[in-house]
Structures are given as C-alpha cells and as structure tokens.
Amino acid sequence: MIRIGNASGFYGDRFTAWREMLDGGELDVLTGDYLAELTMLILARDRMRDPDLGYAKTFLRQLETCLGTALDRGVRIVTNAGGLNPAGLAAAIEKLANRLGLQTQVGYVEGDTIQRPDALSANAYLGAFGIAACLDAGADVVVTGRVTDASLVVGPAIARYGWGRDDLDELAGATVAGHLVECGAQVTGGNFSFFTELPDGGHRPGFPIAEVHPDGSSVLTKHPGTGGAVTVETVTAQLLYEIGGPSYLGPDVVTRLDTVRLHPDGPDRVRVSGVRGTPPLPTLKVGVNNLGGFRNSMTFVLCGLHIEAKAALVRGQVEEAVGKDGLEFTLARTDHPDAADTEAASALLHVHLRDGDKARAGRAFSAAAVELALASYPGCTLTTLPGDATPYGVFTADAVPQDAVAHVAVLPGGERVPIAPPIGTAPASQDESAPGGDAAVDGPTRRGALGEVVGARSGDKGGDANLGVWARTDAGYAWLRTWLTVERLAELVPETAPLSVRRYELSNLRAVNFVIEGLLGAGVAASTRFDPQAKALGELLRARIVDLPADLPAGASR
C-alpha cells in the first residue's frame, strides 16, 4: 500500500498540522489542499496587487518548519497551494530550500488557466496524471494549481502502481480516498453531528491518512494518539460533503458513489472497498470568478416591543435615503419575550447593499444608516460604525473540452511533459434523482429532534448547496428514505421551498442527499445569507422537531 496523509483542508487550516503529521508516524506522501472557490478569488486579488503572488503564502511558512524532516524521512509532498501561480510557488520553494541548505527536487503542474479577458480568474479542474509524472521524475515536492481536490491523492497512487487511463475502478477507489481526506479533520471527527460521542468530545481531531492499495481500495485512519475518531459514521459524513448524485464527476474517472462499501477495520480504521468507475466526461469543469460589484452592510439592534414595526420603519427610512435598488433586509428574531437583559430582548435587522457604484454602496449607504440613530425607532442603535464598500466576486462554472486544455507537468529538471487527455470518455449519465416514497408514518410516533436519529453534513458548490443526511440504523434508513422528501424538506427548511431541489438516494450509505440550486445566490463571495457557505444547513435540519416513529430509538449506528 501507499500511505498518504493530509495536513490541510483549506487556506487557513491548522498551521502546525504539517509538523504533527510528519512527527506522528509513518507516511509515504503528505498532501495539502488549500483551494476553494472563494480562495481562488482571494488569490486573484493578491495577484492583481503583485504578479509574483497568486499562491498560498502560508504554505511556505509551514514548509520552512518541516521540509528538512520530510526529506530525511522520504516523505514526498503534494499540494495545490500553487493556486494561480504554481510556477511562482515552485520557485519560492527552491529558494527556501537553498536558504535552508537542502537539496530538493521540485516539480509543478500547470495548464489549468483558461483565458477569459473579462474574468478575474478562470481555471479548469485538472486531473491527477500530471502529478504522477512529476513524482515519476523524482520530485520531492509537487505543486499544482487548480486540480480536483482528490487528485492530490490519486496522483501519488498512479505513480506508485502505474495505473493507466483504463484502470477506472482503481482510479475511482483512489478518488474516494482523496475525497475523504481532502478536508482534513472533517473525516476524523471534525464538524461531526455526534461530536459528543467522540473519545475526546471533538476537542482536537487528528488529521487523516489513506492507506491506498493496488486495487484502489483503501483504509482510512489517523496517527495513534491523535484526537477525534475514524468510524464508519465519520467517514460517511465526509463522503456526503459537497457531492451531487451517485455519479461523482472527475477529469480522470466518474466515480460511482453508490458502489462504495464502508466496513470497520479495527480501532480508528475504516475499510473503503467496492468502488466502481466509469469513463470521464469529454469536458472539464471551469471555475470562473468575476467582479460582481461592491457591497456594504449595517445591522440595527431592535429591542423590546413592536419588533416588526420597528424593522418596517427602518426599511422605509433607508430606502428613502439611498433608493431601493440593491437593498436587502433580513430580520433575525433573536429576541425573547419578557427578557431580563438587553441582548436577550433584541432582534437584529441586517441591511445589505450591493451595487456597481462603489460610492453609493460605500459611505453614502453606511452614513445614511447611522444618521437614523436619533431619528428612528425607540432604542435605535447599530453594531458598527459607518464604513466603505468592499468588492465582491461572483462565481460561475462552465466547461471546456478536455483536449482544449494544455495540461503540462514541469519536471524537476525543467522538462515540460504534455499530459494527454483521456481517450475514452462518455457523456453524463441520465438524471438519477429520486423523489422519495410515501411520506406517511405508520404506527405510533413521538415528538423529537430529527437529529436524534440522523446525522447531516452540508456545504457549498458555487451558488448551490448540498445537504447529505444519513440514518444511524437500517430501521432508521427505511423510515428516512420514504419520509424525507423534497416536499418535507421544504416544510422543515422553508427557504428551500421556492428553489429547485434535486434529491438522491445512497442506500449503501443509508443516506439521502439534496442539491439545493441557487440557495447561495451568486456564490459564497457574493452571498449575504447568514450562513453563506451552507455549513450549518444540516444542523438546522437536525434541530427541527418532528414526529419520529416511536419504535425508532435515538442511539449510535448498528
């Protein structure tokens, strides 16, 4: 097997994780995932200020503390921290190694940049074969730009086992392993619905390791003595994160998530097997970031009686002052009746303004809000001083033919090796959504929180959100798959009711997954939603009080 760890799930993850993973036990490869749709926008703005930037600067500081250790122990490093400038990061790593007196072979992958003159950034999601080529050429460190997150694991597995384009099941199995470790501690108990059941209560989960075998199967684990846990449920939770239907699309393979089998393999070990793959699409996904305009926000505190009337007064006053265009008002009823302190008696009125005119969205708006302090509702106060507008980005996704992208591996010696696209491709599968069965509950029921019997994991994909829900028992799933329909979701989470929602069943995981189109508007960077990345959507659903079957007890998976 090849033992592949992960030390970063996003730009800003635990700084010491690289050191912890190298010191914690045996590894062959250590990966770091830094890129997300919002991160690409941040890096684009960095590069606008300085053309030599565009990569995750934090990674260099992390590498400085542990590059020597990785080289001494023969642990190879693979990261997408190159962002919009993988060549720049590769050069910076070589400069760092020289300063530290280390002999380091650095390779990098490029070609993901798509020329869109009107965009801040446009990048195709490349596959894993460029990473494998760099490793085959002896690279100690491989830097990429926008590859799929799972490719950071698939590439080293290709290099170890010599898989080709036709080894679809093996590629699919490694893709699942890559998806499971890409978000760091989320698979070892981080952000886990049942965190109170973890041995350390979820205090400091360790980072994950995938032991990938020649047939593409894997075992998910972590270093001994680290926090959190690796169980079938923690793995299920991460497997449901930011997915769509059973067909998990990728540049090298379409992975069938409905074939994944999870089994305990000892303490903090879960075996992942049975994964099947089909040919990839003839196109690559392209993530595009554009400047959407400028935005600003002010929050009014409404205390005591007549909350709705107070909010209506503010709305009319603000609209009169700056005009209605681009304004958005959200009233958060955080107030409690007969409260004994101001905070408990208060609601919050969030007022957002988005506009192409920086001046209108800036002081003209925020100063108009502050000017109401002595001329509005009783008890009027705001949470911030007036401020200027800030630019925001809009994320969209489209596609380009695989053969239209110049995927190139730049080897440690400088040789540029073109990576040919897959020959065998296939169009996307037919719609695999499932509406759900009869929502009626037979037999006696009891009132309780939905989260007593199910877990959930949710996240963002552009302007859409996914919400994966899994049952803890077979009996729980038999009820869940018929009860939790699109219509039921609309009742429990009303903001989904006017949107297009696709529902998928993954019986092998005892799970259903919803894709809620447009919940996040124009994407995370533009969203004014209280939870702009939909990370808490699953916990909102679990907190709803519903009629549970009386014979369905709360409890752990069995």
- How far from 146 is each of 23, 80, 84, 173, CA to CA, in Å? 29, 7, 8, 21
Q: Does 558 have pLDDT greater than 60?
A: no
Which residues, at least 6 apart from 293, have a Cβ–Cβ distance to it below 8 Å?
354, 355, 356, 361, 391, 392
In this prediction, residues 222-249 reach a mean pLDDT of 97
Quick: pLDDT tens for 2-19.
999 999 999 999 999 999
170-191 burial, b at 16+ Cβ within 10 Å, e below that, comes to bbbbbbbbbbbbbbbbbbbbbb
Task: Indicate the pTM of the whole model.
Answer: 0.94
Question: What pLDDT, on the 0 to 100 scale, is given for residue 525?
Answer: 76
**Stretch 159-178: mean pLDDT:** 98
Query: Once rounded to an integer, what is the mean pLDDT over residues 217-237?
Result: 98
Q: Give mean pLDDT, residues 474-499.
A: 96
CA distance 333 to 241: 30
How confident is the model over 333-344, as a mean pLDDT?
A: 96
State how far the alpha carbon of 253 is from the alpha carbons of 127, 164, 274, 407, in Å: 9, 11, 15, 16
Integer Cα distance of 493 and 86 in angstroms: 42
* CA–CA separation, 402 and 252 (whole Å): 10
For residue 191, what pLDDT band results from cuts at 50, 70 and 90? very high
Can you give the pLDDT at residue 440? 58
pLDDT(66) > 90? yes
- pLDDT at position 439 is 55
- What the block records as the tokens of 417 is 């090796």
Expressed in angstroms, the distance from the first to the final Cα of the chain is 29
pLDDT at 149 over 50: yes
pLDDT of residue 38: 83
Q: What percent of the chain has pLDDT over 90?
A: 91
Confidence band (pLDDT; 50, 70, 90) for 524? confident
- Mean pLDDT within 421-448: 83
User: Is the confidence at residue 441, as pLDDT, over 80?
Assistant: no
Alpha carbons 449 and 112: distance in angstroms, whole number: 45
Are the C-beta atoms of residues 445 and 439 closer than 8 Å to each other?
no
pLDDT in tens, 278-308: 999 999 999 999 999 999 999 999 999 999 9
- What pLDDT score does 431 carry? 80
What is the average per-residue pLDDT within 265-278? Answer: 98
Instruction: Identify the band that residue 556 occupies on the pLDDT scale cut at 50, 70 and 90.
Output: low
Q: Dump pLDDT digits (tens) for 369-405.
A: 999 999 999 999 999 999 999 998 899 999 999 999 9
Q: What domains does the chain contain, in order, with CATH numbers?
A: 2-286+398-418 (no CATH), 289-394 (3.30.70.2750), 447-547 (3.30.1360)
